[in-house]
Structure 1
Amino acid sequence: MADGLTIGQAAAFVGVTIKTVRHYHRLGLVAEPDRDVSSYRRYRSGDLFRLVQVRTLAAAGVPLGEIGDLLDADPETFAATLDGVHHQLTERIEDLIARRDRLHRLDHGDRALLPDRACAVLDRFTELGSSPDYVTGQREALVLVRALVPEIFDSFVARLEHSLDDPESVELTKRGWQAGDWDPDDPRIEELAAELADKLLANRALLVMPEGFSDQSDAASRYGIVNHHREAPAIARLNTLVEANLRAAGVIVPGR
Structure 2
Amino acid sequence: MAQYVGVSTKTIRVYHAKGLLPEPPRDASGYRRYTAQDLVEVIKIRTLAESGMPLARIARLTAGSPGDLRSAAGAAEAELSARIDRLVETRGRLRELAAGNNPFLPGEVEQQLRRLHDLGFSDRWIALERDLWILAFATDPETAHRYFADQAEAQADPVLGRLYLDCDRAHDLSPDDPELDDLAARIVDASLARYPADELREQLAGAALPQLVQSSVNASSPAWERLDALIRSGLRRAVS
TM bucket, shorter chain = 0.5 to 0.7
Identity %: 30
1:247 is aligned with what amino acid? R
Q: How do 1:1-256 residues align onto structure 2 when only pairs under 5 Å count?
A: 94-95=84-85, 96-108=87-99, 111-204=102-195, 208=199, 220-230=207-217, 231-250=220-239
Distance change in 2, residues 1:162/1:185 (3 Å):
same
For normalisation by structure 1, the TM-score amounts to 0.52
Note the alpha carbon deviations across 1:159-200, whole angstroms, 9 max, x for none: 221212211112222211221111101122111011112212
Structure 1 runs not aligned, ≥5 long:
1-92, 252-256
2:234 is aligned with what amino acid? N
Conserved? CA contact 1:172–1:196, under 8 Å: yes
- SS state at 2:154 partner: helix
Quick check: which has more Rg, 1 or 2? 2
Identify which of structures 1 and 2 has the higher relative contact order when contacts are C-alpha pairs closer than 8 Å and 6+ apart. Answer: 1
Conserved? CA contact 2:204–2:236, under 8 Å: no
Could you list the structure 1 runs, at least 4 aligned residues long, displaced by more than 6 angstroms after superposition. Answer: none
Root mean square deviation of aligned Cα = 3.0
Output the CA distance in 2 between the equivalents of 1:207 and 1:145.
23
Of Structure 1 and Structure 2, the greater helix share is in: 2
For normalisation by structure 2, the TM-score amounts to 0.56
Output the CA distance in 2 between the equivalents of 1:136 and 1:165.
19
Distance change in 2, residues 1:206/1:150 (3 Å):
farther
Q: Which residue of 1 aligns with 2:53?
A: none
